[in-house]
Structure 1
Amino acid sequence: MLFNFNFMRFMLFGILFSSLVAGGCGTDRTEADDFSGGGPGLNYSEEMDFTITGVDLGAGHTAVINDATEAYDSLEGWQQDNASAAAMLAELDDAVENEEPIAVAAWSPHFKFSQYDLKYLEDPESIFGEGESMRTIVRTGLEEDLPGAYAILDSIQFEMETIEEAVLQGSDPASDHAQIAREWVAANQDAVEEWTSGAAPAEGVPVALVTTYRDDALFTANVAAAALSQHGFDVTLTVLDTLSLFEAISAGDADASLSPWLPITDETYYNEYSNQIDDLGPHTEGAKIGIAVPEYMSVDSLEDLAPKN
């Protein structure tokens, strides 16, 4: 009997000890998870299927997000869902309507920050940089061939508030970006006259501008087109993807663009073609890119998310 009693006591102690060890290990793992993408960060990451909703494959922003997934341990195993800006906005609208988690490619100025309550996720590694400038680039030789157009393009400057107002105004899919630009030019003749001052009037001389699909780029390109047209130039404006835009200007098939964002967004294309274009510098300062989520998500940094594996 004594042997059986002692044996039972030993077995009971062993079971209790094992339970305490397992319970202790579970507690340690939970606490560690709180500081390494566990809790809400892990739940959100799983619900989003470890996917960032991006824009088109050719956008510079897409490449930067790929860099972020390489740089952050919290984004290991993540992927991008790339289609278009319109598709991204449709996904965002659906997620917000249902209060579901979503992480999207984000840039500002853009109307989505007025339409939805969004926040940029903090970027401790500065993969997305501290800020972007929108720049004017022209084909090599434009200053010699069309000095008047070159001088006007070199003079065009915007305030960020102007861009933000125009982007919000153009947020309706039915908006006419060219009309918005013409109205701005008509209401801001002092600025246009300052840009065109000293440039000899043109008489139907052709100028080919190219732009990307972004709302800010469509506005600045159409304003430049309206200002050049008012000065007598025969302006054409073509919308291209970013790579095709740089190729067209470097090859001399287009004269100028106000679309590029530097130093991060379009860095890859800019570096590839910098010897074949002329950079006239920033026309607008204060832009920003990154990854954004709705405010109702209780994560604040890219490091709050969780790796797939």
Structure 2
Amino acid sequence: MRKQSKWMLLLGLAGVLTLSACNTSGGADNKASGGNGAESFGKQVKHEIIGIDPGAGIMKATSKAIEEYGLSDWKLVEGSSAAMTATLAKDIKAKKPVVITGWTPHWMFSKYDLKYLDDPKKVYGEAEEIHTIARQGLKDDEPTAYQFLDRFEWTSDEMGEIMTAIEEGAKPEDAAKKWADDHPDRVNEWIKDLKPVNGKPLKLSYVAWDSEIASTNLLQYVLQDKLGYKVTALQVEAGPMWTGVANGDVDASAAAWLPLTHADYMEKYKDKVDDLGPNMTGVKTGLVVPSYVDINSIEDLKK
């Protein structure tokens, strides 16, 4: 009986040691696959950075970042702003890691807890600005519109009110009207002492980003309802937006991201457009992840 008890005790100790060894091994495996290591994080997101339309400046900057940071095993996925935010929403709901091309102002920063990855090489540059550009001759042809566009400037928080309303289901034109009606002092700053016209046509162009949809709908509302213009707003890609203003086919655009995002277009058309200066400052672009993701720099994406 004593021998049997001794034998059972030895078996019990062996089992404990075996379980302990298994748990130690399992813990290490979990740590490797749980996002604590950069290589593990890359595998979890299939080494994909979710981008937007291929012609956007942020896509060019991201391609450069992949090269500069030695991310040869990473792929930049082309798509659209809507597709990018849909992927972000899906992965955040599932508490999964994801890397996207991001910019502020954007409603997603109000809705989700996000963070920019540090960019020590400054591939994305410093903070950007959104400028208003006009066709040459607009100042003489339509001084009322020109002066309004020249005065127009606002903050990312103000823009965020319209973007959030649109994201929550409001029509862009309704969200813009409500903002203008709710902020009469701001609108009056822009149109003070300007003489309204009587139905003169005016063309604006913009890229299909949430920020530009918000600003262009606001401009269209003020120009039409406060200053008497008949406004056509054209949604185009960045190239046609700049080309249209440079050729005089479009009167103005409040969607020029400078000095980085639209740098190529500014270099090409700087002598053919009037730069009215920034309508918003402190704009930022870069790679964005949910705050629960345990990486903080673009360098962390490298194995």
- For the criterion TM > 0.5, the same-fold answer is yes
**CA distance in 2: counterparts of 1:105 and 1:82, whole angstroms:** 10
**CA distance in 1: counterparts of 2:193 and 2:290, whole angstroms:** 48
SS of the residue corresponding to residue 254 of structure 1 reads coil
**CA distance in 2: counterparts of 1:194 and 1:93, whole angstroms:** 37
2:218 is aligned, of 218, 223, 226, to 223
Residue in 2 aligned with 1:98? 94
Following superposition, the deviation at residue 190 of structure 1 comes to 2.6
5 Å-filtered alignment, 1:135-284, equals 135-172=131-168, 174-229=169-224, 230-284=226-280
- Alpha-carbon deviations, 1:1-43, whole Å to 9, x = none? xxxxxxxxxxxxxxxxxxxxxxxxxxxxxxxxx9xxx961111
Percent of aligned positions that are identical? 33
**CA distance in 1: counterparts of 2:59 and 2:229, whole angstroms:** 35
**CA distance in 2: counterparts of 1:165 and 1:184, whole angstroms:** 8
- Alpha-carbon deviations, 1:29-75, whole Å to 9, x = none? xxxxx9xxx961111112222221000112111111111112112x2
- Alpha-carbon deviations, 1:82-109, whole Å to 9, x = none? 1111111121122222222211011112
Q: Over aligned residues, Cα RMSD in angstroms?
A: 1.8
- Alpha-carbon deviations, 1:121-141, whole Å to 9, x = none? 000011112211111001111
User: Which residue identity lines up with residue 46 of structure 1 in the other structure?
Assistant: K
Pair 1:295-2:298 in alignment = no
**CA distance in 2: counterparts of 1:52 and 1:224, whole angstroms:** 33
Residue in 1 aligned with 2:74? 78
- Alpha-carbon deviations, 1:255-307, whole Å to 9, x = none? 01111111112212222222211100011112111101122221100001125
Structure 2: gaps of 5 or more residues: 1-31
Following superposition, the deviation at residue 159 of structure 1 comes to 2.1
**CA distance in 1: counterparts of 2:112 and 2:178, whole angstroms:** 27
**CA distance in 2: counterparts of 1:147 and 1:102, whole angstroms:** 47
**CA distance in 1: counterparts of 2:151 and 2:258, whole angstroms:** 19
**CA distance in 2: counterparts of 1:207 and 1:97, whole angstroms:** 43
**CA distance in 2: counterparts of 1:157 and 1:190, whole angstroms:** 13
4+ runs of 1 displaced by more than 4 Å?
none
User: Which residue identity lines up with residue 209 of structure 1 in the other structure?
Assistant: L
5 Å-filtered alignment, 1:7-46, equals 40-46=37-43
User: Which residue identity lines up with residue 167 of structure 1 in the other structure?
Assistant: M
Following superposition, the deviation at residue 77 of structure 1 comes to 3.5
Residue in 1 aligned with 2:128? 132
SS of the residue corresponding to residue 260 of structure 1 reads strand
Residue in 1 aligned with 2:66? 69
SS of the residue corresponding to residue 286 of structure 1 reads strand
User: Which residue identity lines up with residue 219 of structure 2 in the other structure?
Assistant: A
Residue in 1 aligned with 2:51? 54
SS of the residue corresponding to residue 202 of structure 2 reads strand
User: Which residue identity lines up with residue 203 of structure 1 in the other structure?
Assistant: N
TM-score (norm 2): 0.84
**Preserved contact between residue 36 and residue 294 of structure 2 (Cα < 8 Å):** no
TM-score (norm 1): 0.82
Following superposition, the deviation at residue 194 of structure 1 comes to 2.5
**CA distance in 2: counterparts of 1:39 and 1:118, whole angstroms:** 18
Following superposition, the deviation at residue 224 of structure 1 comes to 1.2
User: Which residue identity lines up with residue 251 of structure 1 in the other structure?
Assistant: N
**Preserved contact between residue 69 and residue 302 of structure 2 (Cα < 8 Å):** no
Following superposition, the deviation at residue 78 of structure 1 comes to 2.0
**CA distance in 1: counterparts of 2:139 and 2:126, whole angstroms:** 32
**CA distance in 2: counterparts of 1:274 and 1:77, whole angstroms:** 37
User: Which residue identity lines up with residue 178 of structure 2 in the other structure?
Assistant: E
